[in-house]
Chains A and B, each alone.
Chain A
Amino acid sequence: MSVWAGTIRQETVAARRERLPQFLLVVFLAMVAASAFIGSAAKGTVTAVYQEAVREGLTSAPNPFTTISPLYYARNTVIYIILIAALLAIVIGAQSTLRDRRARTIDLVLSRDVPPAKYLAAKLAGTGLLLLFILAVAALVNLACIAVATGSFPTPAQGARILALFGVAWLFLIPFVTLGMLNGIRCATATSGLLVPIVVWSIVIFILPLLGTAAHPVSLLNPVSKAAPAESGFFELTSAVTGPLSLGEQFKRTTALILEDPQSGGTAEGGLLVLLGFFFAACLALLVAGPSHMRRELHG
Chain B
Amino acid sequence: MAEVGVLCRKELKDLSRSRAIAMLLVFLSAVILLSVLVAAADYRVKLAEYTAYADALKAAGGSPTPPPNLFPLQMLRAGIEYLEIVGSLFAVILGYGLVAKEKGSNTLQLLFTRPLGRHAFAGGKILATVIVWLVVVAALFAVVALAVLLAGRAQLAGQDFLRLAIAAAHTWAYFIMWSLLALTLASLTRQPASGLVLALVLWLVIVLVIPQIGDTMDPDNQVPGGLFTSLQIDRTNEKALLTHFASYETGRDFVEQTSATKQYERAVFAYLGVKTQYNQVPLGAVWDATSHNSLWLLTTSVFTVAAAFLSTTRETLLRKLP
Inter-subunit contact B45/A235 (CB<8 Å): yes
**Chain A neighbourhood of B232, CB < 8 A:** 59, 61
CB of A273 within 8 Å of the partner chain? no
CB of B321 within 8 Å of the partner chain? no
Interface positions, chain A 105-163, Cβ under 8 Å from B, are: none
Give a binary string over A1-32; 1 marks a CB under 8 Å from any B CB, 0 the rest.
00000000000000000011001100100010
Inter-subunit contact A210/B38 (CB<8 Å): yes
Q: Which of B34, B44, B104, B222 interacts with A64 by CB under 8 Å? A: B222
Inter-subunit contact A49/B219 (CB<8 Å): yes
Segment with Cβ contacts to A, from B56-64, B114-122, B162-170, B206-214: B206-214
**Chain B neighbourhood of A31, CB < 8 A:** 209
Inter-subunit contact B194/A217 (CB<8 Å): no
Give a binary string over B282-308; 1 marks a CB under 8 Å from any A CB, 0 the rest.
000000000000000000000000000
What is the CB-to-nearest-CB distance from A168 to chain B, in angstroms, rounded to a whole number? 20
Segment with Cβ contacts to B, from A191-199, A245-253, A276-284, A286-294: A191-199
**Chain A neighbourhood of B223, CB < 8 A:** 46, 64, 224, 263
Q: Ordered nearest first, which 7 A-B pairs have the shortest CB separation?
A: A300-B104, A214-B42, A20-B197, A59-B231, A217-B81, A221-B212, A234-B41
**Total A-B residue pairs with C-beta atoms closer than 8 Å?**
167
Among B27, B104, B209, find the residue whose CB has the most chain A CB atoms closer than 10 A. Answer: B209
Interface size range of chain A in the complex: 35 or more
Interface positions, chain B 44-83, Cβ under 8 Å from A, are: 44-45, 48-49, 77-78, 81-82
Among B97, B208, B223, find the residue whose CB has the most chain A CB atoms closer than 10 A. Answer: B208
Inter-subunit contact B224/A224 (CB<8 Å): yes
**Chain A neighbourhood of B200, CB < 8 A:** 20, 87, 198
Inter-subunit contact B224/A263 (CB<8 Å): yes
How many chain B residues touch A (CB < 8 A): the figure is 65
What is the CB-to-nearest-CB distance from A1 to chain B, in angstroms, rounded to a whole number? 31
Inter-subunit contact B82/A23 (CB<8 Å): no
Q: Which of A20, A49, A216, A221 interacts with B77 by CB under 8 Å? A: A216
Interface residues of chain A, those whose CB is within 8 Å of chain B, are 19-20, 23-24, 27, 31, 34, 38-39, 41-43, 45-46, 48-50, 52-53, 56, 58-59, 61, 64-65, 76, 79-80, 83-84, 87, 189-192, 194-195, 198-199, 202, 206-207, 210-211, 214, 216-218, 221-227, 230, 232-235, 263, 300
Inter-subunit contact A194/B248 (CB<8 Å): no
Inter-subunit contact B81/A216 (CB<8 Å): yes
What is the CB-to-nearest-CB distance from A126 to chain B, in angstroms, rounded to a whole number? 22
Give a binary string over B184-211; 1 marks a CB under 8 Å from any A CB, 0 the rest.
0000000001101110110011001101
Inter-subunit contact B211/A221 (CB<8 Å): yes
What is the CB-to-nearest-CB distance from A145 to chain B, in angstroms, rounded to a whole number? 15
Segment with Cβ contacts to A, from B85-93, B152-160, B310-318: B85-93
CB of B171 within 8 Å of the partner chain? no
What is the CA–CA distance of A27 and B237 in the complex, to the nearest angstrom? 39
Q: Which of B89, B194, B196 interacts with A191 by CB under 8 Å? A: B196
Inter-subunit contact A61/B245 (CB<8 Å): no
CB of B241 within 8 Å of the partner chain? yes
What is the CA–CA distance of A207 and B111 in the complex, to the nearest angstrom? 42
Do A218 and B204 form a contact, CB below 8 Å, given A202-B85, A233-B48?
no
**Chain B neighbourhood of A80, CB < 8 A:** 209
The secondary structure that dominates the A interface is helix
What is the CA–CA distance of A214 and B74 in the complex, to the nearest angstrom? 13
Inter-subunit contact B96/A191 (CB<8 Å): yes
Do A38 and B213 form a contact, CB below 8 Å, given A217-B78, A217-B81?
yes
Inter-subunit contact A52/B244 (CB<8 Å): yes
**Chain B neighbourhood of A38, CB < 8 A:** 213, 216-217
Inter-subunit contact A226/B34 (CB<8 Å): no
Inter-subunit contact B196/A49 (CB<8 Å): no
Q: Which of B34, B48, B84 interacts with A211 by CB under 8 Å? A: B34
What is the CB-to-nearest-CB distance from B13 to chain A, in angstroms, rounded to a whole number? 20
What is the CA–CA distance of A34 and B93 in the complex, to the nearest angstrom? 29
What is the CB-to-nearest-CB distance from B137 to chain A, in angstroms, rounded to a whole number? 19
A-B contact pairs, 5 of them (CB 8 A): A23-B198, A42-B219, A59-B233, A61-B232, A80-B209
Give a binary string over B89-110; 1 marks a CB under 8 Å from any A CB, 0 the rest.
1000100110011001100000
CB of B277 within 8 Å of the partner chain? no
Inter-subunit contact B222/A233 (CB<8 Å): no
CB of B35 within 8 Å of the partner chain? yes
Which A residue sits closest to B43, measured CB to CB? A214
